[in-house]
Amino acid sequence: MFAVTAARIDAEDPLAGLELGERPDLPPPDGWEVVTVKAASLNYHDVWTLQGVGISADRLPIILGCDAAGIDATGREVVVHAVIGDPTVAGGDETLDPARSLLSERYDGTFAQRVTVPRRNLLPKPGVLSFEEAACLPTAYLTAYRMLFDQSGTKPGSTVLVQGAGGGVATALIILGRAGGYRVWATSRSETKRERALELGADQVFPPGARLPERVDAVMETVGQATWAHSLRALRPGGRIVVCGATSGAAPPAELNRVYFLQLSVVGSTMGSRDQLGRLLTFCEQAGVRPRIDRTLPLTQAADGFAAMIAGNLFGKVVFTV
């Protein structure tokens, strides 16, 4: 089958390790099922893999891609949950299983004509969502859903700041926050992206580091080092930063005096459980939410999507069709 593979690790030039070509179809293990992929979406995770972040060279070659929507062996339209873990070891939440992995970390991922996953990782695709839209949900939108609705400690009507508005997770946070009754403020380096964030439902937008009209209840962090100091300053006393990523660097000054004096919380968040993905699918259906797609490309042109992500030229998700 045709697939997009991480063949080598190259921290400086991630595209150098990207290979497009034939890979063998392997028989599914017991309890696993083969899904015919119709659409898959790109995440920064796929770039990290090519750079050797979160994976070691002995796992290569491995098919990239966490997210997919497709058709299962019985002909059902499905969305693939990307977290491979055991919910029973961690109180029903497989993201807390110490042995959990994401598709494309230990098991081949979704950038292929077919992907093999545990049967419990398949959820019915709502008919109102296209395969392309559904393929955006399992990583960026699920991560945003958990950050905002489960980890932020806020309620509808609260004010949240989303750093780096253009990204896949960030656009998801704006869309879901707006639909969930939040006042969403967003920053972006680009004026064009700030305008688009307003169109998407952000209430106000700011350049990075700008003084805000008032302090916010929570900050959604995916950028890391470049925005961390601003995130700490943006919070009201007792406020919370929810962090799921650190694209610009992972070791900013912690500013512990600010954290304890203002009694701030910093909470990590990763992906979401199968139950949360089920609720996200229903939320999209009920609230009329549709993911923001920057561009859709055939899987054979995956390298163009990777290049746009590395260059930071995106507003929303890159979707590959198969």
Ligand X SMILES: NC(=O)c1ccc[n+]([C@@H]2O[C@H](COP(=O)([O-])OP(=O)(O)OC[C@H]3O[C@@H](n4cnc5c(N)ncnc54)[C@H](OP(=O)(O)O)[C@@H]3O)[C@@H](O)[C@H]2O)c1
Q: Which residues contact 239 (CB under 8 A, 6 or more apart)?
A: 215, 216, 217, 218, 219, 262, 264, 265
Tell me which residues in 47-86 interact with ligand X (CB under 6 A): 48
188 binds ligand X (CB under 6 A): yes
How far is the C-alpha of 159 from the C-alpha of 292, rounded, in Å?
22
Q: Please identify, among the stretches 28-36, 116-124, 239-247, 253-261, the one whose residues bind ligand X according to the rule CB under 6 A.
A: 239-247
- Selected from 41, 51, 154, 247, the binder of ligand X by CB under 6 A is 247
Residues 166, 243: Cα–Cα separation, whole Å: 16
Report the residue from 40, 103, 165, 174 that binds ligand X according to the rule CB under 6 A: 165
Q: Which of 169, 202, 234, 289 binds ligand X (CB under 6 A)?
A: 169
Burial class of residue 195 in the structure, from the number of CB atoms within 10 Å of its CB (0-12 exposed, 13-18 middle, 19+ buried): middle
**Is 164 a residue that touches ligand X (CB under 6 A)?**
yes
* Residue 197 vs 284, nearer CB to ligand X: 197
Least Cβ distance, residue 28 to ligand X (angstroms): 26
From candidates 43, 51, 121, 152, binder to ligand X by CB under 6 A: 43
Sign of CA dihedral 52, 312, 151, 255: positive
Rounded distance between C-alpha atoms, residue 90 and residue 97, angstroms? 6
Considering only residues 154, 222, 273, 276, which one is a binding residue for ligand X as defined by CB under 6 A?
222
Of 124-132, 166-174, 253-261, 298-306, the segment contacting ligand X by CB under 6 A is 166-174
Q: How far apart are the first and last CA of the chain?
A: 11
Bond from prior residue into 253 cis (ω within 30 degrees of 0): no
Q: Can residue 135 be called a binding residue for ligand X (CB under 6 A)?
A: no
Q: Is the dihedral of CA 54, 190, 111, 15 positive or negative?
A: negative
Q: Which residues would be at the binding site for ligand X (CB under 6 A)? A: 43-45, 48, 139-140, 143, 164-170, 188-190, 193, 208, 222-223, 226-227, 244-248, 270-271, 309, 312, 314
